[in-house]
Structure 1
Amino acid sequence: MIPIAASPITDGIAAVLAPDTLLVIGIGILIGMLVGAFPGVTATMAVALASGFTLTMEPTQGLAMLLTIYVAAQFGDRVPAILINTPGTPASISTTFDGYPLARQGKAGLALTTSAFGSAFGMLWGIAILAVAAVPLSAFAMQFGPPEMFALVVFGLTMMVGVSSGRIIKGLAAGAFGLFLATVGRDPITGDQRFTLGILELNGGIPFIAVIIGFFGVAEVLNQILTHRKSNRVQPITQMGQWMPGWKLMKRLSKPMGIGAATGSVVGLVPAVGGDIAGIIAWDNAKKASKRKHEFGKGSLEGLTAGDTASTATLGGSVTTTMALGVPGDSVMAVMIGSMMIWGIQPGPGLFSSHPDLIASLVTILLIATVLTLGLSLLRMKGVVKLLELPSHFLWVVILVFCMVGTYSINNSIFDVFMMLIFGMIGLFMLRFGFPPGPAVLGLILGPLAESNLRRALITDGWTSVFTSPIAMVLLLIAAAALILPPLRQLVKRRKAANEGKNVSATLP
């Protein structure tokens, strides 16, 4: 028998098919489905909490856990969106447009099933994009020098700020705060201490896992405690009705699935633009292309399928930009970058050349997670309805305990727990006053990369090296457009509305 020579692809697949890694994937699926099913517990929060427990694992197992939670949450979050009209995560906002009306019509089971099929198709489409585009994009980025890497980080930061729900100024302030936090510790060039206040634990910088858990875990729970109202709780719909769609219906839904997959794949490749935006855009595009426009918003399976397909199709592009460029595709990927850096894996242009088996591992993890989660989603789980009836305060206690235990387990440090609580309070302030936490986390993680590359560029050729590089200039111009164009569009809309109001008043007798 001729032995088969090992290759990066077979090595990457074999690492995922190991029994311990498959066990981790199974645990991640259960956690992700539960996370998605509980309104208010976002995928970002779950991945942030899990990151504290995965840092002692092997990198492949850690990635399997975090990615699987992310995938499964994309399926589980459709359940509360359809049954109680509350998005489990932001990615399922578009699900509520038609999912809840369908449930009120006695078609909850059909809505859950078609949503699962659409989500799975979008996920598989995104995985195909990852498999095809990641390595070429990384090879292109290998040409980047310090000026281009600095411009790339600026591009990623401003893209996240530019899509901060119209809060550009507050997004910039949050990003600047994150960049300031990144300066605490040692100078990346000289190694000198700065802004440590004489605290020995800050010599290595602010522990970003503690910051992430504080922002996305503690702050979210505290905010829910402050805003929780029992009277606002919607009772879940229990009448499921028909479950499996017929072949004729699935054939009709192929068109909105295609629209959702195309929309999600394009949106997913843009850093920081998440599944919530993709889902809303795809829902609108499917409405324009449908012969049943009157059903949209009132219980349309086409609208439900298009939005859910698009929101999951973004995952492939998000993972691609994160791994190939080192720029997080969304807040979940920002958390994952922090974990990978602790594992000794630096996402960016050189990732796949230093870890050639990684792309095969990523694709295999996502494929297994998608197929298994789809199978779990198709089960007629009446227990899910019971989960939605559980009092929220039980969940809050569990999350806070996991926040503290997970943060402490990273370095066995009470100081890290203390920092987590401080940033939990800061994160609560940001949530209450409309400052998005995403840009702050991105600034903390990517700040050292931006600073070190800028200073290397300045030491070598001065500012001219930045402004004479075509790639750097294109990235910086796109970054500037991401900040300037949204306010200009809002200004034009306001002026147009004001002029229409004047015209209407002028025509009145």
Structure 2
Amino acid sequence: MSDVLAGTAALLDPAIGLCLLIGVLLGTLVGAVPGITATMAVALAAGFTLTLEPLQGLAVLLSIYVAAQFGDRVPAILVNTPGTPASIASTFDGYPLAQQGRAGIALTSSALASAAGALAGILILVLAAQPLASVALRFGPAEMFALVVFGLTMMVGVSGSNVLRGLVAGAAGLLLGTVGRDPITGDTRFTFGMTELSSGIPFIAAIIGLFGIAELFNQIVETKHKNTPAPITQLGAWWPTRAERRELLKPSAIGTGVGAVVGVVPAAGGDIAGVIAWAQAKRASKHPERFGHGSLEGLASADSASTATMGGSVTTTLALGVPGDSVMAVMIGSMIIWGLQPGPALFVESPDLVYSLAAIMVLATVLALALALVRMQGVVKLLALPQQYLTAIIISFCIVGTYAVQSSVFDVVLMLCFGVVGLLMRRFGFPAGPMVLGLILGPLAESNLRRALVIDGVETVLTSPIAVGLILLSLGAVLLPWLRSTSKARKLRARVPENAR
């Protein structure tokens, strides 16, 4: 109880309140502009927050993360374009509702369902993080190595339809993670005589390049080929009737349940949860024929699920030290720079921090909901802002944010290089997520594996039930998508008549 009181009392600092408010405003704006993901915004903000106190910086980053889950529904509903990947399923019924003249009701219903899902996810964080960390405290080097491998392969497993490309990207990240000093001997490796690389690849420069600059470069390349529908600016009635509010309850409960489970799985973010919850709500609905044609049930299930994943994602990140999603991967890097190592030890060294973060997320959810319930005409106007203006502003912030971390021009050049690499990866279908995780978790996996080998040899990994179980789960995460696609291909070939081949 003392930890709870200490954690919540820390938020009485006016500076933290200001940081939280700034984060909510930024997150709402970020979500409302298609193409600017929450990961990109958090990565960019990370460079500016490193000069703040840890809790102040985390208040900015977490509130951006939370508020972006509300703002991204605006373009999904009004323009049929997801503001972030988490709102993909919101387009299924949100845009049809807007076309029916119910855009205001759709936006309000979405905000209410999103808030319900977010608060339920935060409750999971409060209840599950400590027990999960208590179990993980018993992990030795072998178990930690297996856990890190599990986190890496889970990201690869959900990185897209091509598992091989995900594996290649993850391997490239692991290779980048070896740059710098050897974790055991301290010898420099792969620095090519550049002292700037002696501490490893600058994390902030890498993530801003891979997520921010690469996304902007990709938008520039695709600008001529985009046919974005004109935004619907007539919102109509904005508050759902009593019958419509009752209609939201069941799908919101389904979405919250799905999101709570999916969120705990490393790397399975709101986009996956939203699609799964939408399908489950359709099966449970009395009117499944409305789904995809303007159903409030479909919208509520998708949005509550995508926000419910946040609590589980933060739980996995704090308790196990394995990023729950790409945003948490960025936050892990920032926390390490602040001297906070996510994982079981965090609950011993800073037990009140978890409750502070949960309180920040609750306040950010309430503020984001209040902002979303406003008519949002100002946010709607952002959708008509010329893309070239946004691109110039964001590139400038990327450069300034990267330079501010270490006052290094080398970091800026490296960021631009990673931007080009990220663009090429996107164009050829290689996901950036596994590369980032490899860069973050690679050194942790290497150091734990080598410690385990030094202590007891290779048998220490093979004789630990926990390590073996996690490694088997990791193999399943990589092999199951491949086996599933192979099975589908065989069934399709079996259905094709022999003379048609």
- TM-score interval (norm. to shorter): over 0.9
Equivalent of residue 280 in structure 1, options 275, 278, 288? 275
Equivalence map 1:232-311=2 (5 Å): 232-311=227-306
Q: Which amino acid aligns with 2:163?
A: I
What does residue 320 of structure 1 align with?
315
Partner of 1:459: 454
TM-score of the superposed pair, with normalisation by structure 2: 0.98
Residue 224 (1) aligns with residue 219 (2): yes
Q: Which residue of 1 aligns with 2:116?
A: 121
**Match for residue 184 of structure 2 among 183, 186, 189:** 189
Q: 1:93 aligns with which of 76, 80, 88?
A: 88
Aligned-residue offset at 1:496 = 1.6
Moved more, 337-346 or 231-240: 231-240
Q: CA deviation at 1:221?
A: 0.4
Amino acid at match of 1:97: F
Q: Identify which of 410, 414, 417 aligns with 2:405.
A: 410
Output the TM-score relative to the length of structure 1: 0.97
Matched residue SS, 1:327? coil
1:146-165 → structure 2 map (5 Å cutoff): 146-165=141-160
Query: How big is the shift at 1:248?
Result: 2.1
Structure 1 residue aligned with 2:166, among 171, 178, 182? Answer: 171
- Report the AA paired with residue 488 of structure 1: L
Q: Is the 8 A contact 2:247 2:296 kept in 1?
A: no
Query: How big is the shift at 1:247?
Result: 2.0
What is residue 3 of structure 1 aligned with on the other side?
Answer: none
Q: In structure 2, give the amino acid aligned to 1:253.
A: L
Please list every run of 5 or more consecutive structure 1 residues that lacks an aligned counterpart in the other structure: 1-5
For 1:504 and 1:83, how far apart are their aligned partners in 2? Answer: 48
- Per the alignment, residue 371 of structure 1 pairs with 366
Find the aligned partners of 1:45 and 1:419 in 2 and give their Cα distance.
17
Q: Hey, what does 1:19 align to over in structure 2?
A: 14
Alpha-carbon shift at residue 385 of structure 1 (Å):
2.1
Deviates more, 1:245-254 or 1:68-77: 245-254
**CA distance in 1: counterparts of 2:489 and 2:225, whole angstroms:** 38
- The match for 2:68 among 51, 70, 73 is 73
**Cα distance, 1:503 vs structure 2:** 8.9
CA deviation string 1:108-152 (max 9, x = no partner): 000000000010000001000000000000010000000000000
Which residue, out of 123, 129, 132, partners 1:134? 129
Offset, 1:502: 2.7
Find the residue that maps to 1:232 and give its secondary structure: coil
Quick one: structure 1 residues 504 and 278, their matched pair in 2 at CA, closer, same or farther if it must change by over 3 Å? farther
Task: Find 1:380's aligned residue among 365, 375, 388.
Answer: 375
Which amino acid counterpart does residue 93 of structure 1 have in structure 2? I
**1:344–1:172 CA distance, 2 compared to 1 (3 A):** same
Tell me the secondary structure at the aligned position of residue 379 of structure 2: helix
| TM superposition shift of 1:505 | 7.2
What is the alpha-carbon distance in structure 2 between the residues aligned to residue 259 and residue 369 of structure 1? 23
Q: Given the alignment of the two structures, is residue 107 of structure 1 paired with residue 78 of structure 2, yes or no?
A: no
For 2:409, give the aligned amino acid: I
Distance 1:385 1:359 in 2: 35
Contact residue 191 and residue 197 of structure 2 kept, 8 A: yes
Structure 2 SS opposite 1:291: coil
Note the C-alpha offset of 1:356. 1.1
- Counterpart of 2:40, as a letter, is M
Q: Say which SS state the counterpart of residue 89 (structure 2) adopts.
A: helix
Q: Give the distance between the partners of 1:69 and 1:470, measured in 2 at CA.
A: 39
Distance (Å, rounded) in 2 between the aligned partners of 1:14 and 1:303: 39
Pick from 38, 42, 56 the counterpart of residue 37 of structure 2. Answer: 42
Cα distance in 1 for partners of 2:66, 2:20 equals: 11
Corresponding residue for 2:422?
A: 427
Give distance in 1, aligned partners of 2:238 and 2:169.
45
Are the aligned partners of 2:255 and 2:302 in contact in 1 as well (CA < 8 Å)?
A: yes
Deviation of the 1:443 alpha carbon:
0.6
Q: Secondary structure at the match of 1:165?
A: coil
Distance 2:52 2:137 in 1: 29
CA gap of 1:231–1:314, structure 2 versus 1, over 3 A, is: closer
SS in structure 2 at match of 1:229 = helix
| Alignment deviations for residues 275-317 of structure 1 (CA, whole Å, 9 cap, x no partner) | 0000000000000000111100010000000000000000000
Alpha-carbon separation, structure 2, partners of 1:453 and 1:125: 34
Q: How many residues align?
A: 501
The question of 1:446 aligning with 2:446 is answered: no
**Structure 1 residue 363, shift from structure 2 partner:** 1.0
Between the aligned residues of both structures, percent identity stands at: 64
Q: Which moved more, 1:481-490 or 1:381-390?
A: 381-390
CA distance in 2, matches of 1:487, 1:89: 27
Gaps of at least 5 residues in structure 2 are: none
Q: Which amino acid aligns with 2:455?
A: T
Alpha-carbon distance in 2 for matches of 1:301, 1:356: 40
Q: Is the 8 A contact 2:179 2:191 kept in 1?
A: yes
RMSD: 1.3
Is 1:494 matched with 2:495?
no
Q: Distance in 2 between matches of 1:372 and 1:272?
A: 26
Instruction: In structure 2, give the amino acid aligned to 1:55.
Output: L
Q: Give the C-alpha shift of residue 230 in structure 1.
A: 7.3
Partner of 1:481: 476
- What is the distance in 1 between the residues matched to 2:224 and 2:412? 29
State how 1:390-401 maps to structure 2 within 5 Å.
Answer: 390-401=385-396
Deviations 1:43-100 (A, max 9, x none): 0000000000000111101110000000000000000000000000000000000000
AA at the equivalent of 2:96: P
Following superposition, the deviation at residue 242 of structure 1 comes to 1.4
Q: Could you list the runs of 4 or more consecutive aligned residues of structure 1 that deviate by over 6 angstroms after TM superposition? A: 503-506
